[in-house]
Structure 1
Amino acid sequence: MKFAHLADLHLGMVVNHVSMAEEQKHILKEIVKILEEEKPDALLIAGDVYDKAVPSVEAVNLLDDFLTDLVKYHIRTYLIAGNHDQGDRLAYAGHLLASQGIHICGNFDGKMDHDVLADAFGKVHVWLLPYIRPSYVNRYLDEDERVGSYQEAVAKAIAMSDVDFSKRNVIVSHQFVTGAQVDPLGSEQLIVGGLDEISSSVYDGFDYAALGHIHRRQKINDHVIYAGTPLAYSFAEEKQEKSISFIQMEKKGTVHVYTRTLTPLHHLRTIEGYYKEILSAADEDENKEDYVRFVLHDNQEQPDAIRYLRQLYPNAMRLEYDNERTRAEMIQPVNQMQTMSPSDLFARFYKERNGVEMSTEQISWLKDLIDEIWNGGEQV
């Protein structure tokens, strides 16, 4: 049995105010081409299909075209919701799509969705577990059975599904496993304090755990693997090689994993140096269409620098300065943040992201929620 493993498509993603739609259209076509060459028995997509719970029309059309190509080439597909997805929207027309070989699991409904495939070695059971929180599981449990952590929630969801571990089993899941390498300035958005961390031991017994949520491809162990994103979605990821994973499964306990590299339409990269040096070197640069972050070392700000740089690099995204002044200015905010409360930190983050202050009602709700979490209550 041969599986392909993808995750974190984040269709509709905007990076530094630039839509990634054309990049995503290109990479999805490349993925389909590789799948047609490799001919897997099934494709596993481990969540965060969309970047937002309410996706744009452009994002929906990207998924529509992708699924249409998968059906055209008879590529059986299993797809789950991640924390960025709204399960009901993702699973719209799910029964109709299932008749075409596209199996979508948007929500946990008391047990994992399950399908069975077969090859020369017998049956392979495919289990679909979308992103879950304790509250998602507790609604199906009596009060004395309720769980309080993400670890317990995932373990309970698996236990409720009656998995026969003497058989070959694959699980598609979207959670944050302890030990996963996360880029400090990357595009993942994890819960502060590690409240959503789980141990990889919850997947013990499965022959392969196809994970999503972390954007860097990595092995937690031989059978628990993150596929990573198919594209770099932040400059922290610019040097990562993006890929699609393939899993060759033979008899029980025999699994081989390899990857095929994905090549973006345009790379994300950083150009660093003094302003005049960057301008003079531009003539020799053969990749001016890349998405570029400029880091200038000049002590004085250069007037209209980004405008002039965009004449040479039309996809220039950001301009930053790294010099003695900016390094000194960074020390003060860090010292201030060390003394700020969690609610004040979040209010600062909210203003930076949205350009406006939180309302009185929002601050009150936030403080109540933080108090509930800090006192051991269940997160909502």
Structure 2
Amino acid sequence: MKILHTSDWHVGRTFHGRDLLREQESVLSGLADTVADERVDAVVVSGDLFDRAVPNAEAVAVCARVLKRVRAAGAQIVVTPGNHDSAARLGFLGAFTEAGGLHLRTRIADLAEPVLLADEHGPVAVYGIPFLEPETARQALGVPDAKGHAGVLAEAMRRVKEDLAGRRGARSVVLAHAFVTGGEPCESERTIAVGGVQDVPGGVFSGVDYAALGHLHGQQTLAEHLRYSGSPVAYSFSEARHHKQVWLAELGPEGLAGVEKRALPVPRALSTLSGELEDLLVAPEHEDVADHFLSVTLTDRVRPLDALRRLQSRFAHAVHVEWRPEGGRTGELRFAERVRGHTDEEVACCFLEDVRGERPGERELGLLREAFAAAAREETA
């Protein structure tokens, strides 16, 4: 049996204010081609199908079209909610969609009730563990003393393995959305720490043939049977060097027979640039990134005005700019220390110098003095 492992679709997410629905639909629709070409039996989505608990209508429509294409290509689909999803909303029509091959495992009470698939070697039990918020899950699971994510996931896996023990000969796949020890995070993931504890030891997932993890956005292998698929689209510049892929896991008669990568298309590459604004606007060597999403660090001595708009005149998809003057301060201000003993005028002048990189001119000084005098008169009155 072939299982295509994906996660963290985050349908509806934006990138520095830019809508990504077109890019997301393009990449995710390609999963249907992989299903058809590889004769995939099941596609699993390990959490964060949507980016918000209440996705907008456009995001729901994109997700519905993608799932329909994947199902039409011949694969069963199993989905569990992540920390971005609303489990209740996602699972609302679960009892009806299952008949059509879309299996939504969203309830804690059902985590030990697998989706049962079968091939020529017998049954495969696919368990979906929804994201477990510790405070809620420890009560729902009847383990009030469980500690953090590790405690509630350990109880969830105990129940899974207890059910699996009664299914003689069944191979097993578990979907879980968690931060497993050894995983490498990036900037686009929302923390799931509660009381400072978020890590789950990998040993919790022993005893199953394949654990399809979600939450971390970089594809990773923690053990042969324990993997993160990563997000299908980059959601931060910390992912600029990621090669977005999915895992294709094959279960043979004795369990996991092998796992291979399958590359995903890149709808728009991510790049970073650094330099002075006027140079960046004309330098020919930057032409190859003109169509990329860009994060730009400006090194001008004086902060350029309207920098992002000017950059976008050449780089239409520049979305992020920061100013780090070469050889100058990077913006760390110890305000209380620096203003002690200074007049209001001196403080204002220092502020303007910090944010612009140069002191105010005589005309600006005159305006500042007028403003301070007016404020003093108002205060006296």
* Cα pair distance change 1:254/1:50, threshold 3 Å: closer
* 1:199-220 Cα deviation digits (max 9, x unpaired): 1111000111000001111011
In structure 1, the residue corresponding to 2:31 is in which secondary structure?
Answer: helix
Q: Which amino acid aligns with 1:299?
A: R
After superposition, where does 1:174-253 map in structure 2 within 5 Å? 174-183=177-186, 185-191=187-193, 194-253=196-255
After superposition, where does 1:231-310 map in structure 2 within 5 Å? 231-282=233-284, 285-310=287-312
Q: Which is greater in Rg?
A: 2
Q: State the shift of 1:30 in Å.
A: 2.0
Which residue in 2 is equivalent to 1:97? Answer: 97
Q: Percent identity among equivalent residues?
A: 28
* Cα pair distance change 1:138/1:224, threshold 3 Å: same
Distance of 1:35 and 1:330 partners within structure 2: 51
Aligned residues of 1:9 and 1:230 also touching (Cα < 8 A): yes
Distance of 2:217 and 2:141 partners within structure 1: 33
In structure 1, the residue corresponding to 2:44 is in which secondary structure?
Answer: strand
TM-score between the two structures when normalised by the length of structure 2: 0.81
In structure 2, the residue corresponding to 1:109 is in which secondary structure?
Answer: helix
Distance of 1:300 and 1:127 partners within structure 2: 58
* Cα pair distance change 1:146/1:256, threshold 3 Å: same
Q: Which amino acid aligns with 2:232?
A: P
Superposition RMSD in Å: 2.3
Which residue in 2 is equivalent to 1:66? Answer: 66
Q: Which amino acid aligns with 2:171?
A: R
Aligned residues of 2:127 and 2:175 also touching (Cα < 8 A): yes
Between the two proteins, the alignment pairs up a number of residues equal to 332
Distance of 1:118 and 1:225 partners within structure 2: 23
In structure 2, the residue corresponding to 1:158 is in which secondary structure?
Answer: helix
* 1:214-247 Cα deviation digits (max 9, x unpaired): 1111011111100000010001111111011100
In structure 1, the residue corresponding to 2:332 is in which secondary structure?
Answer: helix
In structure 2, the residue corresponding to 1:53 is in which secondary structure?
Answer: coil
* Cα pair distance change 1:69/1:10, threshold 3 Å: same
Aligned residues of 1:187 and 1:234 also touching (Cα < 8 A): no
Distance of 1:44 and 1:210 partners within structure 2: 8
Which residue in 1 is equivalent to 2:127? Answer: 127
In structure 2, the residue corresponding to 1:170 is in which secondary structure?
Answer: strand
Distance of 2:194 and 2:329 partners within structure 1: 26
Aligned residues of 2:210 and 2:256 also touching (Cα < 8 A): no
Distance of 1:246 and 1:168 partners within structure 2: 16
* 1:12-43 Cα deviation digits (max 9, x unpaired): 10121112111111111222222221221100
Greater alpha carbon shift after TM alignment, 215-224 vs 108-117: 108-117
* Cα pair distance change 1:321/1:106, threshold 3 Å: same
In structure 1, the residue corresponding to 2:241 is in which secondary structure?
Answer: coil
Q: Which amino acid aligns with 1:309?
A: L
Which residue in 2 is equivalent to 1:364? Answer: none
Q: Which amino acid aligns with 2:155?
A: K
Aligned residues of 2:78 and 2:102 also touching (Cα < 8 A): yes
Greater alpha carbon shift after TM alignment, 252-261 vs 216-225: 252-261
Q: State the shift of 1:254 in Å.
A: 3.6
* 1:42-98 Cα deviation digits (max 9, x unpaired): 001000011111111111111111111122222210000001000111123212211
Q: Which amino acid aligns with 1:308?
A: R
* 1:239-283 Cα deviation digits (max 9, x unpaired): 111011100111324431111111222112212222232112258
Query: Is residue 146 of structure 2 the alignment partner of residue 147 of structure 1?
Result: yes
